[in-house]
Each structure stands twice: as C-alpha cells, then as structure tokens.
Amino acid sequence: MTTELVTAWRPTVPGVTEVFHAHFVDHAYPLHVHDAWTLLIVDDGAIRFDLDRHRRGAAGASVTILPPNVPHNGRAATDRGFRKRVVYLEPDILDTRLAGAAVDHPGFDDPLLRRRIHQLHEALRPGDELEAESRLALIRGRLQAHLDRHHADPAVPLPRRLADGLRELLDARTAEGITLREAGSLLGSHPGHLVRAFTSTFGLPPHRYLVSRRIEHARRLLLSGARPAEAAALAGFHDQAHLHRHFRRHLGVTPGAYAAQAAQGGVPITAPSAP
C-alpha cells in the first residue's frame, strides 16, 4: 500500500501564505486554482501537469511558478512518484500582469534561483523569519527578471543611507526584531533594495547581522549567570533550541558549556578521559 506524505504549515513570514511539502505516488490533483502564486521545486521524480490547457512538466533542477487563479492539475510522471516543496506567495509578491508570462513559460532552469528557494525552505522555521524574508526578497527579484523580459533591477538609491538606517533599526530592536517589510516602510525602500544595500555595504546580509548581535547579547547574559533558556528569551531567540543551534555554529560550543566554563572562572571544561 502506497503512503502519501504531506507536511504543511504557515510561517510568520511576510509574503508567504503557506508552505507545503509532499511525497506523492498515486495521488492525482484534479483541476483547481489557488489565490496565491505557487513556487515549486521537485526534489525527486517528476511531475506532469496541465496549466490553462497547456501540457507542462517539472523535475530536477528546474523551478516552477504558477500564477494565481489559473486552473491546473498534476500527477506523477513516473511510477515512483515525486517529492516536492512548495511555497505559496501572496498575490502582490509579483505583478499580476506577469501571470500571462508565467502561463506561457512556468519553468526555469536557473541553478541560483533553485538554490535560493532551497535556502528559503531551510529558513522557514520559527526564529529565522528575517532570513526567510531576506531570501524571499532576492527570489522575488529573480522571478521578476525571468517573467518580465523588460525588467531591469533599478539601482539602489543611496545604498549607504539605506544600509545605515537598517543597521540602526536592527541595533535598536535586536531582541524583538523587525521585518523587512516594516523596515522598508520606515526607510522608504523596497525589501529587496534593503537586502542588497546592507549586504554590499557591510559584507553580510541583515539576518546574519541580527543573529550575530543576538549571540553577543546571549554571551554577556551567560557570563552574568543567566541560564541558557533565560538568555535565549532575553536575546531574542525563539527558544533555547534556536539559541543552541546558532550559538554552536558561531562559537563551536553549546550555551550550557559556555556558561559552565564561565562559572568555573574561565577554567576549560573538558570531557573526562577514558579509563
């Protein structure tokens, strides 16, 4: 008996309405529509589908974008089925005038775009919302370029001013955080412009800057005697596991080991040798 597997959730990321991961073998979608843009990558197998009465397919390294309110169906193109990851995006993420171009050419062989979509899925977990929003801003620009042959990324106006402004917002709201959408509204800029301006000016994207600031805050709290769970909450991490993941990546040790070493007055904590 074939088991069809589905995982779906709605992250708190501006622009994303739903995330959908699935492994299908026998399931066949009937004709249906979504009120969102459907951004799809296939991790294994292949899909065949009809989009507005045109026969299409998706597999391998390709990226597929389906426009809102256009009928489509779908099923496995081989007996072994397929695994896919989908992000449903708010209708205003892309200009609705590009729907016709997406119907005519819904698939792109673009390794960089596919890698960025994979990175977006990796970031769609609690605590990494700014990273996910940053990745989505870059994805949006690349999709726009594929769908609009007259599109050209405008020059970022006054990149140093935008970068400094965003850094000030991140510094002022390190623990509580800020979305790129809100920052863009405050600074009068598109989120994609903010990401590019910040990265080109400071050499790292805004989400990595924010994580590094939170790590610094957590380190000081741990050195002052705070427990890891308390440090995580005060520094702006989603939970202790979120702090643990980033802390170990940055410093090579867990927050608990770091706090224990501090409690011993700087004496290194090592595992006991084998008897």
What's the number of domains the chain is made of? 3
Predicted local distance difference test score (pLDDT) of residue 158: 75
Phi-psi region of 101 (alpha: psi -120 to 50; beta: other; left: phi over 0): alpha
219-241 pLDDT, tens digit per residue, is: 999 999 999 999 999 999 999 99
Q: Check whether residue 54 and residue 178 sit in a common domain.
A: no
Mean pLDDT of 195-202: 94
Q: Check whether residue 61 and residue 26 sit in a common domain.
A: yes
Q: Check whether residue 168 and residue 53 sit in a common domain.
A: no
Instruction: Say which CATH number the domain at 227 has.
Output: 1.10.10.60
Q: What is the percent of the chain with per-residue pLDDT over 70, rounded to a whole number? A: 91
Handedness of CA 215, 238, 244, 191 (dihedral sign): negative
Predicted local distance difference test score (pLDDT) of residue 274: 40
Q: Check whether residue 76 and residue 184 sit in a common domain.
A: no
The Cα angle at residue 79 between residues 55 and 119, in degrees rounded to 5: 70
Predicted local distance difference test score (pLDDT) of residue 54: 86
Mean pLDDT of 131-147: 94
Instruction: Say which CATH number the domain at 29 has.
Output: 2.60.120.10
Predicted local distance difference test score (pLDDT) of residue 123: 96
More confident residue, 159 or 234: 234
Residue 235 C-beta-side C-alpha neighbours within 13 Å: 30
